[in-house]
Structure 1
Amino acid sequence: MKLFNKSHSKNSEWYFPGGKDLQMESGSNVSLEMFKDNPLDSLAREICQNSLDAGIEGSNKPVRVEFTSFKVKAENIPGYLELKYEVINKAMKQWPNEQKTMSMLRKMDRILKNKFVNVLKISDYNTTGLRKENWKSLIEQVGSSVKKDSSSAGSFGIGKGAPFAVSDLRMVLYSTLADEGIKSIGVMKFVSYKDKLNGKTIITQGTGYYGENGSKKPISKDFGLGGEISRTEKGTDIYIIGFNQELMENWTKEITYSLANNFLFSFYTNKLEVVIDNKYMLDYSKMNKIIEEIRNDKKLLRKYEYLPGYYDVLQDEDHKEFNLTGFKEYGIKDGEAILYTSNKGDVNRRVLMTRNAGMKIKDLNRISSIIKFSGIFYAHGKNINGILKQLENPNHND
């Protein structure tokens, strides 16, 4: 599959901003390491959460997210020759005694010497795309998260590191169509190295950009060329370049179970649908099959032990619903949240805590050791979401 048009290289190149006496950044990037324990789970959560937050207000269509894997010729990666023969060599000379960094650089070098490179493409539809303020937060800022309103999920700007954590090249290409038109840029979470600028020695920062004329200015056309129709519908395409080979072997199953576990209520309320590898449409109608697979597999049941109980709540036609009341003094109107409970099926004595987008935040336990029940707490009101957003931790799991 041809993806990248080599003509980009005529007007674009990798740009690693630098200056005098900057702090050197090695390959140990904390914002990426935090996702390494469960990289695909983190990726699924962060990507779908962001897409749900960008959903078109008032639309009755679910946000659609598509995950697709394929290979591209290494030579078609933006800035391929520059990375292979210049950038990585300069970085290796800078870090000869840093074992972890050198291991990372050698792996990058091996990947670029292969004929083909793995790519995971993630696209969303029925969204606004990345508007100007969202683009600036995603590409240019650290620790920033600009959302369309206070009830959106993200708040720390840390989740943007999740796609880089599954890339052995630490390279992600963004292409979006929003109100401002099409714009694209490549971002690489690299390492610092010494370079020359106007005859003076500078130290580059760890992050590099593939933009127009060697800058952070985006390219005014998308990366998805060569046989792909240029995007005409608002939304965003993310290309994870150098998708980790080990993760690639079973990524479709991992993503499927993660989505069911983290977005059960989003599927139930028809806010989300996902297409996996052009073959499998995941929506609420598919949940029964997934839940049965989990119930009948001891390994899966250990990992997703509470999910069947939550699904049983939604499937129980006689489940109870309780509206939240009594918090007006905190600015929360009556009915801004609802608790669903059932004592049928695989009761787990826990409550799935979720907010506006429907993503799972945590399993609330220690409620009762006597009452047999499972529950789902859904905070859908604007005021309660604004408060809970301030209380949420950076990982969005408490």
Structure 2
Amino acid sequence: MTIEWKFPHNGFGQVRGVSDAGIETFTGTEIQSLAREICQNSLDAAVEGSNATIKVDFEQYRIPSSDIPGYEQYASKIQKAYDYWSKKNSEKTVKVLTKALNAIKKPTTVVLRISDFNTTGLSHPYEDSDEGWNALTKLDGGATKTGDKAGAFGIGKNAPFTNSDYRLVFYRTLNEDQETAAQGMSRFISFPEDLSNSMNTMTTGIGYYGNPEGNLPVDSISELEKLYQRSEIGTDVFVYGFNAGHEWNSDVINEVLENFLMSIHKNLLSVTVDNKTIDNSTLARYLSTYNTKIKNAYWYYQVLVRPETKVFKKDFHGMGTLKLSILVDPSEKLNEKSNPPAMLGRME
């Protein structure tokens, strides 16, 4: 089977610009949004009836740029986009394309791999379905959180692309039916395949690397296997041209602690970032280490574990029990958002 890049033509329809609303949403909080969206999707993909802890791994690699799947072909697509848009009156577009072109021409690139375990994986990778694989790669604005919930990506599925200099992400899964699937995706910008015939060859700006017949995934992509071989059910996301910088690991840890405190505390989630594992047994240590940047999470954790915390419960119109935990400590500078005490409330 031929594996290649394919950017479908737009059929004289809408031309996609560089300011994609779904991607621009995460501008300024790129790596934080990535960490938050990925971990939430993995939690949503828990195996029904299983008590196993969801595990999410973040690992970075530096590789030769030539090891990007379909490298020469993809670089040529960026060049075509630059050649077309550089003749237009769009300073921002040219700036983005210049950055992408310079980045992909560098001898090496950075890849961020995010993998989850004890999840369902993505279902129906080779079928016409609005769940699972297609909800992630092809369905915009219609995904619902049913079935294997990791496939029910809304606007959050754009977060990985904001972390790539050339908006390039690869997905891979091993699902509960023991199906394997892998595919690259670019949420880029419209460009003509033939500059001399731009109207007839204008693309949608979204491209796929895999089986060009139907823009379907393939069972494996050798370059992904070279980075990491999956043997357990779950999903991998590979962000090529990863651009978050040297502090990416600290940013991810901060975001995980701030947003997934309860899940980690209750042993529902474990996250490993650059060989640092945040789980139920290490949570207190990481909260203490990072507490200058995550005051909310640090004090909410104190509410959970300190013996002087007061707990109040009340039935909420028969829909469940509201539980409010309050910690008052005059000797500490508690979270001012919950002035004067630190409070944590939830429905049980």
TM-score by length of 1: 0.77
Task: Go from structure 1 to structure 2 and tell me whether the alpha carbon gap of 1:61 and 1:188 turns closer, same or farther (over 3 Å shift).
Answer: same
Q: Deviations over 1:306-342 (max 9, x none)?
A: 23221110121243334441323xxx2x33x533332
Residue 118 of structure 1 pairs with residue 115 of structure 2 = no
SS of residue paired to 2:255 = helix
- For 1:154 and 1:320, locate their aligned partners in 2 and report how far apart those are by CA, in whole Å: 40
In 2: Cα distance, 1:24 partner to 1:216 partner: 20
2:251 corresponds to 1:264: no
Question: Structure 1 residues 202, 27: CA separation in 2 closer, same or farther (over 3 Å shift)?
Answer: same
Residue 190 of structure 1 pairs with residue 215 of structure 2: no
- Check whether the contact 1:14–1:82 (CA below 8 A) recurs between aligned residues: yes
1:347 Cα deviation from its structure 2 partner: 3.3
Q: Distance in 2 between matches of 1:30 and 1:228?
A: 32
Asked if 1:291 is matched to 2:291, the reply is no
Checking the alignment, whether the CA contact within 8 Å between 1:312 and 1:346 is kept in structure 2 is no
Structure 1 residue 36, shift from structure 2 partner: 1.4
Give the whole-Å Cα distance in 2 for the aligned partners of 1:212 and 1:176: 16
Once the two structures are overlaid, the 10-residue window that deviates more, 65-74 or 200-209, is: 200-209
CA distance in 1 between partners of 2:240 and 2:151 (Å) = 24
SS in 2 for 1:105: helix
Counterpart contact for 1:20–1:201, Cα < 8 Å: yes
Of 313, 318, 334 in structure 1, the residue corresponding to residue 303 of structure 2 is 313
**Counterpart-to-counterpart distance in 1, 2:48 and 2:326:** 29
Match among 231, 250, 253 for residue 250 of structure 2: 253
Of residues 292, 312, 327 in structure 1, which corresponds to 2:317? 327
Distance 1:154 1:138 in 2: 5
Distance apart, 1:28 and its partner CA: 1.2
* Corresponding residue number in structure 2 for 1:389: none
User: Is residue 2:16 matched to residue 1:25?
Assistant: yes
Matched, 1:341 2:341: no
Structure 1: distance between partners of 2:23 and 2:140? 13
Give 1:289 shift.
Answer: 2.7
Report the AA paired with residue 323 of structure 2.
I
Structure 1 residue runs without a partner (length 5+): 1-9, 351-364, 381-398
In 1, Cα distance between equivalents of 2:221 and 2:325? 44
Larger CA deviation: 104-113 vs 251-260? 104-113
Match of 1:168 among 162, 165, 176: 165
Q: Rate the CA distance shift 1:256–1:156 in 2: closer, same or farther, 3 A.
A: closer
Trace 1:204-243 onto structure 2 (pairs within 5 A).
204-213=203-212, 215-222=214-221, 224-226=224-226, 228-229=228-229, 231-243=230-242
Q: How far did 1:88 drift? A: 1.8
Pair 1:120–1:285, CA change in 2 (3 A): same
Flag the 1:123–1:291 CA change in 2: closer, same or farther, 3 A: same
**Structure 2: gaps (5+ residues):** 125-130
Distance 1:226 1:149 in 2: 31
The Cα RMSD (Å) is 2.6
The answer to whether the 8 A contact 2:135-2:153 is kept is no
Q: Which of 138, 145, 148 in structure 2 is aligned with 1:147?
A: 145
Deviations 1:34-62 (A, max 9, x none): 11121111111100000000011222221
1:11 CA displacement: 1.4
Matches within 5 A, 1:9-24: 11-24=2-15
Alpha-carbon distance between aligned partners in 1 of 2:213 and 2:77, rounded to the nearest angstrom: 14
Matches within 5 A, 1:33-52: 33-52=24-43
Q: Given the superposition, is the C-alpha separation of residues 347 and 292 from structure 1 closer, same or farther in structure 2, using an over 3 Å criterion?
A: same
Separation (CA, whole Å) in 2 of partners of 1:46 and 1:228: 22
SS of the counterpart of 1:51? Answer: helix
Q: Is the 8 A contact 1:143 1:156 kept in 2?
A: no
Distance across 2 between alignment mates of 1:16 and 1:127: 31
Deviation for aligned residue 1:257 = 1.2
Instruction: For residue 179 of structure 1, report the CA deviation from its aligned partner.
Output: 2.8
Aligned length: 334
Do 2:186 and 2:207's aligned partners in 1 also have CA atoms closer than 8 Å? yes
**What one-letter code is carried by the residue in structure 2 that aligns with 1:348?**
N
Pick aligned residue for 1:374 from 316, 338, 342 = 342
Percent identity (aligned): 33
Deviation at 1:83, TM superposition (A): 1.9
The answer as to whether partners of 1:176 and 1:184 remain within 8 angstroms in 2 is yes
Q: Paired residue for 2:271?
A: 274
Letter in 2 for 1:319: T
| Cα gap change, 1:376 to 1:81, in 2 (>3 Å) | same
Deviation of 1:77 (Å): 1.0
Distance 1:20 1:31 in 2: 23
**What is the identity, as a one-letter code, of the residue corresponding to 1:375?**
M
Question: Which residue does the alignment assign to 1:91?
Answer: 81
Question: Cα 1:326–1:288, aligned 2, differ >3 Å: closer, same or farther?
Answer: closer
Question: TM-score when scaled to structure 2?
Answer: 0.88
